[in-house]
């Protein structure tokens, strides 16, 4: 078994990437923030695919490579495989992880987004929270795109979280060490 | 003696004694790699990374290796009496050095590998084969 | 009595959720590279990494205190030992050592010989002023601030710059007493 670090280290970095780019540099330009976060993920995916394919035979087709991402690659990152892989046979693959760890431990903390504008605070908080969740998806999307493109499969990857389960506030404040949110992730890979 | 090791793909790294002539040999052998890979009968059923001897021996023997990420490693040796096992071992270690080099956050894909550590590791691996 | 601070973080590290260090190492590297692209100035990147570390430190301290059973009322000497032996181990899986205490016990060095942040990393010539691991100094500063210790954390040695180890100097500037900042009697009904 190779070197390991605490999961909190990775979670902390992800939280900081999103807050640095979304609240700091590009507070009013979410598309630019998204692009930077995706680029960070892309580099990581590109490098990881190089490392994780080292000991295995070459893939004979795209499907085999995508299955590798769903199984071995995902397991290295999340200790579990993608739960469901679907394709429309026209170049789009849909990967679904029913218990995506990075959203499970993500910090959505509306109280820290102290907006001074007098709009309806609950809608504001909801929008902010939704946007924050959305921003967290660009990193894993970048990883998948980086990995696939390095395996010779250029593609566009987008993701959504279907049915983000409601989670009560008391649990969220304790989230630091107790994952309470278990969110499904759906990633769409469109081969170009 | 190993006279040339080349990485060809998104980026190029060549360590060679007689650059021009070897460049030509490497270039020709790349075609052989493509031909093998695109023809499953020749690449064998296992899709192994190690492609074995690429060119018929004249003054040199040329060996090839292809990673899952479509990067080709080419080795040219003047030693006409090499064993496949040694070559496999060489490429496995070379591949590992390559993967670490491209894991450097400052390495830019498609650009030449500038890592000093990589150059040192390659030189150690080359020397260990004599 | 508060429980005695653990002497090592081995047991805690074994019990926390762990992940493949490569993911962490490469993610951090990609962040540094992206910051260099966006901020251009190496000095600005140093500052940003420190700030990110600080933000992480002020959050991680809760997890650290909860899992390590360390009481809050330790002196600076003990605090440094706990960071080195328990803190580093619990999060990064490596142990640091504490040396170079000054005469009045206000400043010391944390020495790290094995550092997962820098696996595979080679600084290009254009980034010579970069403190690649600056996030670490921010984490320590942030975490200590949450237990009322104002510190200044600076790099003394850096393996990426050719030194034989990583050395962080931690200087205690001010130890704020742990009083509640607002006294009740300062407020009156309105």
When CB atoms are compared, the residue of A5, A40, A177 closest to C92 is A5
Per-residue model confidence as pLDDT tens digits over C5-15:
667 889 999 99
Whether residue A58 and residue B68 make contact (CB cut-off 8 A), yes or no, is yes
Q: Is the pLDDT of residue A80 over 60?
A: yes
Best to test chain C binding among B96, B97, B106 (most C CBs inside 10 Å): B106
Instruction: Give counts: helices (H), strands (E), chain C.
Output: 6, 5
Whether residue C120 and residue B103 make contact (CB cut-off 8 A), yes or no, is yes
All structural domains of chain C: 20-175 (3.30.1380.20)
Q: What angle do CA B41, B46, B47 make, to 5 degrees?
A: 80
When CB atoms are compared, the residue of C34, C55, C63 closest to A177 is C63
Best to test chain C binding among B105, B115, B116 (most C CBs inside 10 Å): B105
Per-residue model confidence as pLDDT tens digits over B111-125:
888 899 999 999 999
Q: Dihedral through CA B27, CA B33, CA B35, CA B38, nearest 10?
A: -140
Domain boundaries, chain A: 7-191
Best to test chain A binding among B36, B41, B68, B89 (most A CBs inside 10 Å): B68
**How far C7 CA sits from the closest chain B CA (Å)?**
34
What architecture (CATH level 2) is domain A7-191? 2-Layer Sandwich (3.30)
Q: Is the pLDDT of residue B73 over 60?
A: yes
pLDDT for res B38: 77
Per CB-CB distance under 8 Å, the chain C contacts of B115 are 122
Whether residue B67 and residue A59 make contact (CB cut-off 8 A), yes or no, is no
The most confident of the ranges A22-31, B29-38, C139-148 is C139-148
C56-88 burial string, b = 16+ CB within 10 Å, else e? bbbbbbebbeebbebeeebebeebbbbbbbbbb
- Structure tokens that stand for C161 in this block: 């710059």
Residue C58 near chain A (CB below 8 Å): no
**pLDDT band for position A162 (50/70/90)?**
low
Domain boundaries, chain B: 2-128
Name B85's Cβ contacts closer than 8 Å, sequence gap at least 6: none
Whether residue A58 and residue B109 make contact (CB cut-off 8 A), yes or no, is no
Q: Is the pLDDT of residue A179 over 70?
A: no
Per-residue model confidence as pLDDT tens digits over C81-95:
999 999 999 999 999
pLDDT for res C113: 95
**pLDDT band for position A112 (50/70/90)?**
very low
Q: Are C112 and A29 in contact (CB under 8 A)?
A: no
Q: What is the pTM of this model?
A: 0.87
What is the separation, in whole angstroms, between the first and last Cα of chain B?
6
pLDDT for res C155: 97
pLDDT for res A47: 98
Q: Dihedral through CA B19, CA B23, CA B26, CA B27, nearest 10?
A: 180
Q: What SS3 state is found at C170?
A: strand
Task: Give the residue-averaged pLDDT of C144-169.
Answer: 96
What letter would DSSP give residue C2?
Answer: P
Q: Is the pLDDT of residue A58 over 70?
A: yes
Residue A48 near chain C (CB below 8 Å): yes
Q: Is the pLDDT of residue A178 over 50?
A: no
ipTM confidence: 0.88
Task: Give the residue-averaged pLDDT of A121-140.
Answer: 75
Q: Is the pLDDT of residue A70 over 90?
A: yes
Cα radius of gyration (chain A): 17
**How far A148 CA sits from the closest chain B CA (Å)?**
9
pLDDT for res A111: 41
Q: Which of B31, A90, A164, B115 is nearest to C121 (CA)?
A: B115
Q: Is the pLDDT of residue A143 over 80?
A: yes
Per CB-CB distance under 8 Å, the chain B contacts of C28 are 105
Per CB-CB distance under 8 Å, the chain A contacts of C62 are 176
**CATH number 3.30.1300.10 is the correct assignment for the domain at B2-128:** no
Q: Is the pLDDT of residue A180 over 50?
A: no
């Amino acid at each position: 078994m190779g070197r390991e670090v605490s999961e909190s280290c990775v979670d902390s970095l992800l939280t900081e990437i999103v807050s640095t780019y979304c609240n700091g540099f590009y507070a009013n330009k979410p598309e630019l923030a998204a692009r930077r976060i995706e680029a960070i993920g892309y580099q990581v995916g590109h490098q990881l695919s190089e490392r994780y394919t080292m000991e295995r035979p070459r893939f004979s087709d795209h499907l085999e490579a995508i299955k590798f991402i769903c199984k071995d690659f995902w397991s290295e990152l999340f200790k579990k495989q993608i739960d469901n892989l679907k394709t429309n046979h026209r170049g789009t693959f849909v990967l679904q992880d029913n218990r995506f760890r990075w959203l499970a431990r993500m910090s959505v903390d509306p109280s820290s987004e102290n907006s001074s504008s007098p709009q309806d605070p609950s809608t504001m908080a909801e929008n902010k929270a939704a946007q924050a969740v959305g921003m967290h998806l660009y990193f894993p999307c970048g990883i998948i795109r980086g990995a696939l493109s390095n395996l010779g499969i250029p593609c566009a990857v987008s993701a959504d979280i279907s049915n983000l389960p409601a989670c009560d506030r008391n649990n969220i404040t304790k989230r630091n060490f107790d994952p309470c949110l278990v969110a499904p992730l759906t990633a769409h890979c469109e081969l170009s | 003696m190993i006279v040339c090791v080349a990485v060809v793909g998104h980026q190029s790294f060549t360590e060679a004694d007689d650059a021009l002539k070897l460049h030509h040999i490497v270039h020709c052998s790349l075609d052989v790699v493509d031909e093998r890979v695109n023809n499953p009968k020749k690449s064998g059923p296992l899709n192994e990374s190690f492609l074995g001897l690429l060119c018929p021996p004249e003054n040199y023997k040329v060996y090839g290796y292809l990673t899952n990420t479509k990067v080709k490693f080419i080795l040219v040796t003047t030693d006409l009496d090499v064993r496949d096992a040694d070559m496999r071992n060489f490429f496995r270690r070379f591949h590992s050095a390559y993967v670490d080099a491209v894991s450097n956050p400052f390495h830019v894909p498609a650009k030449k590998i500038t890592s000093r550590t990589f150059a040192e590791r390659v030189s150690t691996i080359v020397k260990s084969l004599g | 009595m508060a429980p005695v601070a653990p002497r090592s973080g081995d047991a805690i590290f074994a019990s926390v959720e762990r992940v493949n260090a490569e993911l962490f190492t490469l993610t951090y590297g990609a962040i540094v590279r992206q910051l260099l692209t966006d901020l251009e100035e190496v000095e600005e990147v140093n500052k940003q990494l420190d700030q990110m570390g600080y933000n992480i430190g002020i959050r991680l301290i809760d997890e650290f205190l909860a899992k390590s059973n360390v009481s809050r009322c330790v002196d600076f000497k003990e605090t440094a030992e706990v960071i080195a032996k328990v803190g580093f181990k619990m999060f990064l899986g490596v142990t640091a050592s504490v040396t170079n205490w000054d005469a009045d016990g206000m400043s010391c060095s944390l020495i790290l010989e094995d550092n997962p942040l820098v696996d595979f990393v080679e600084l290009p010539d254009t980034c010579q002023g970069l403190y690649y691991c600056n996030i670490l100094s921010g984490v320590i500063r942030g975490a200590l601030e949450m237990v009322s210790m104002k510190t200044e954390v600076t790099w003394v040695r850096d393996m990426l710059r050719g030194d034989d180890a990583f050395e962080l100097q931690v200087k205690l500037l001010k130890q704020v007493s742990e009083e509640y900042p607002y006294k009740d009697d300062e407020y009156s009904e309105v």
